[in-house]
Amino acid sequence: MKLLKIAILASGNGSNAENIIRFCQENPHLYQLPIVLCDNPEAYVIKRCEMLGTKVVLIPVEKKSTLAESREFQEKKMLEILSEYQISLICLAGYMRILSSTFIDYFYDVKIHAARIINVHPSLLPSFKGTTAYIEAFNYGV
């Protein structure tokens, strides 16, 4: 069976990222997780990756003349790295940015008619979206 090469995109604490990394490390015959990409230099996920021996690359959004240009520049860098590692599945684990359709299309798999991107989220979207999703879901009782 071919190894599934996974990358994580993360922005914050990294508890979900840590669990995914540990799972991959416990199942090396099935999964390889060679890289975590992070957009936030203050994110604790960086420390978690260091403790777990997982390479993390910081790719913050650089200020360009427009938000679209900033995102395009960042995503281009991310795609270069993901291509270098031949990543076939992306896990968004607390990644606090909206990915462009260009980025998502890059991971589109015709065989499954979907992008090879999984978003770890505290609710069933579109309920409780955004940066207050955990608080809203908790307050609602779900």
**Identified catalytic residue from 5, 22, 116, 121:** 121
Give the SS3 label for residue 9. strand
β-pairing, 31-38 with 4-10? Answer: parallel
β-pairing, 108-109 with 114-115? Answer: antiparallel
State how far the Cα of 76 lies from the Cα of 60, in Å rounded to an integer: 12
User: Of 138, 24, 19, which is closest to residue 10 (Cα–Cα)?
Assistant: 19
Is 29 annotated in the active site? no
Which residues are the active-site residues? 121
